[in-house]
Amino acid sequence: MKDLEAQLNLEIQKRQKAEQMFGGLENVLKMLAMGDSLKETLEKLIEYLESKIEGVRCSILLLDSSGQYLLRGAAPSLPKSYCDALDGFLIGPNVGSCGTAAYKNEMVIVDDIETSPLWADFKGLALSHDLKACWSTPIVNIQGKVLGTLCPYFSEPRSPSADEIQTAQFAAYLAGVAIQFKGGEVALKESETRYENLFGQLKSIMDGTSAEIGEGFVRS
């Protein structure tokens, strides 16, 4: 009896967690299937993410065709002057959170921009715009190639919880789907199959069995 009760409680917790993560996601999924622009779709995805993590302001940067520079994709809540200053910067092993994440193809967590060596060349710009923490997750395609980065910013130094890491990685996964759909990287037939499989993939993400979302990250 106790085993059954424990199992029921676990299922309830899973359902509650799924509702918390997926609530408000319907519009993003509809935009993936419709003719909305990539920018509009990414902005809606950012709106979803900002509703799930308290105090976050998010940007999505896109890797250019050379694979060397990050370009502005969408950042509706960040100051335009900040986005303008960083539009088209060169990635590298010690280039802020986003440049490093794109270069290493792994999540980079900077819980205090002021003291992080990765931000030595950019911290003045960030701090002047009241940006004090940044966790950057690479956005990848089906083959694992980096397409860009998803970058949650905060106005105070802070570390992510395990749930917040999962939420950011999940949003980055959806951003990768959107970029491939809207950017024409995936052929139409393959896109349709990808979309049909998306809901099954979401379940595996919640069950912790998905290979789409990695667990490794760098903290600095």
169-191 pLDDT tens trace? 989 988 998 888 776 544 444 54
For residue 137, pLDDT over 90 is answered with yes
Considering only CA atoms, which of 121, 174, 166 is closest in space to residue 148? 174
Please report the pLDDT score of residue 13 as a whole number.
Answer: 56
Length, in residues, of the chain: 220
Q: Yes or no: say if 135 and 110 are a contact pair by the CB < 8 Å rule.
A: yes
Q: Yes or no: say if 166 and 126 are a contact pair by the CB < 8 Å rule.
A: no
Please report the pLDDT score of residue 106 as a whole number.
Answer: 96
For residue 97, pLDDT over 50 is answered with yes
Identify the band that residue 19 occupies on the pLDDT scale cut at 50, 70 and 90. low
Range with lowest mean pLDDT among 66-70, 152-156, 214-218: 214-218
Beta strands in 105-175 (DSSP E): 107-110, 133-140, 146-154
Please report the pLDDT score of residue 186 as a whole number.
Answer: 47
Identify the band that residue 52 occupies on the pLDDT scale cut at 50, 70 and 90. confident
The secondary structure element, H or E, covering residue 68 is none
Please report the pLDDT score of residue 191 as a whole number.
Answer: 47
**Whole-number Å distance between alpha carbons of 202 and 7:** 21
Please report the pLDDT score of residue 216 as a whole number.
Answer: 59
**Whole-number Å distance between alpha carbons of 17 and 28:** 19
For residue 214, pLDDT over 80 is answered with no
Angle at 161 between CA 151 and CA 89, to 5 degrees: 15
**Whole-number Å distance between alpha carbons of 3 and 62:** 48
Cα→Cα distances 45→38, 139, 153, 189, Å: 10, 13, 15, 24
Cα→Cα distances 217→97, 107, 128, 206, Å: 11, 4, 27, 19
Please report the pLDDT score of residue 142 as a whole number.
Answer: 84
Which amino acid is it at 192?
E
Spell out the long-range contacts of 198-202 with Cβ–Cβ below 8 A and sequence spacing 24 or more: 198/29, 198/32, 202/22
Considering only CA atoms, which of 216, 149, 135 is closest in space to residue 179? 149
Which amino acid is it at 52?
K
Please report the pLDDT score of residue 75 as a whole number.
Answer: 96
Please report the pLDDT score of residue 42 as a whole number.
Answer: 93
Indicate yes or no: pTM above 0.85: no
For residue 49, pLDDT over 70 is answered with yes
